[in-house]
Structure 1
Amino acid sequence: MIRKFLKTLIWLLPVFFLLPGSVRADSVSPDELVKGVTEEVLSILRQDKGIQSGNKQRAMALIEKKVAPHFDFSRMTSLAVGRAWQQADAKQREALTAEFHTLLVRTYANSLTAYRDQTVSFKPSKQTGDEVLVRSQINKPGNQPISLDYSLSKSGNDWKVFDVAIANISLVTNYRGSFASEVEKGGIDGLLKTLQEKNRKGVTDQPPAS
C-alpha cells in the first residue's frame, strides 16, 4: 500500500502549490507560503468535482495557471539533465526546458484526479545560504506517513521550487538516469527529440520513484 501511495503521491506534488490569487509569493516566507497554499489547495481539491471526475484539460489548465509560475523549470531541467546540460547551447536549453515543462504538467494533470483524503503536517524548515528546505509530511489513513520536502530559492522577489523530495527521493535526480541514457544514445538533440515525441503523443511518464 505504501508503494502504491508513493507512486500516486509523487505526481500530486504541484497541487500543494496552487497559489490563490490573494496570496503574493514575495510577501511571505517559504514556510508561510507552503503552509497557506497547502490549506487552500486541499480545500479546492475536496470541492472540485471536475478534477475529481477525471477532467484532464481542466486539471492541466489549473496547473498552468496556478502551479507553473511557482516552479523554476529551467533549474529543474538543468538538474535533471545533469552534466550534459553544459553541452547544450542556449536554444537547446530553452527547448529542453519547454518540453520538460510540458511533460511534467501533462503527467501531473493525469494524476490530480487521484487525490482523496490525504492531510499534511509540517516540520521546522532548514535554510542553507539562500536556499530553504520546507519539510512536510503526508498522512493517509491506513498508511505510514511519508515525508514531502520542497527546496526553494529566491528568484527575483519570488520564492520558487527547484526540487521536491518524497521519502528523501529527489524528483529531478530520478530523471537524471533516463535523461543521461538518451544523451548517450543521441546527444542533446536525441534527448530533445524523445521529449518532443512524448509530448506529441500525449505520453505521461510513470513516477520516477516507482
Structure 2
Amino acid sequence: MLFQLGCEGGDDGDDIPTCSGTFKGCGGDLTGKWSIDGLCIEGDMKSLMAAAASSEDLPPECSDLFQSMSVEMSGTIEYANGNQISDVSTTMSIKFKYTSACLSAQSGLSIKMTQSVCDAFESTVNSNGGDDMKLTTSCSFSTSCNCTLTMSGHSQETIGYTVNGSILTTDDGKKAEYCVSGKNLTIREQSDDGPAGQTKLHRISSGHMKESE
C-alpha cells in the first residue's frame, strides 16, 4: 500500500516524526484525488533503530550503528472506479556510524577504521546500487566512518481496493485503517516488521470537480 506517512511532530529533525495523539479510524468517502502531506511513525525513532540493529543479529559493538533515518514523500493517491491509483516519489536517508569495534566484531578480525577503509566501504556500497531505487552513499572519516545512505525512487501503481467500515483493503491483501475528516485523509498502516505509521493527505479533487483550497 503506502509507506508509513502522516502527521507532524518529533524531536529530531533528522528522524521520521513521531505521531502525536491517538488515531481512530472513522471511514468516510475516499473517492477523489489526494495529495500527500507528510509522514510519522508511532514510537520513538531511536528505540526503533536500536531494535532494528538487534533484529539484524548485529553484535553489541554495533548497537549504535544506525544513527537516524528520514523519509520524504510527495505525490498523489486517487480512488476512482474501485481502483487506488498512486503516483509517488520517495527519498529515504539513513545515517549510520561504523566504528573499529563494530567492524572487528562483525568480521571476527582486528580491524582499525581508517580513511582508506571508510573510502572502500563507500565505494563498495555505491557500486552495488539498488533494484527499484537509486542508491548513493557519502561517507566521512574521523575516528569512525560516518555515512549517509540515500535511496530515491518514483513509483506508479493502479490496484483494486474495497472498504469495510474504516478498513481499506487493496487487492494484494494489505489492510489499513483510515479516516476522512473534511478535506483531510489519514491512513494508518501496521508494517510487517516495524512500527505502525500514518499517512496524512488532503483532497485536491472530488470525482471530476476540482475543489477550491
**TM-score, length-normalised on structure 2?**
0.29
The structure that has the greater radius of gyration is 2
Higher share of residues assigned strand: 2
TM normalised by structure 1 equals 0.30
Whichever structure has more helix as a proportion of its residues is: 1
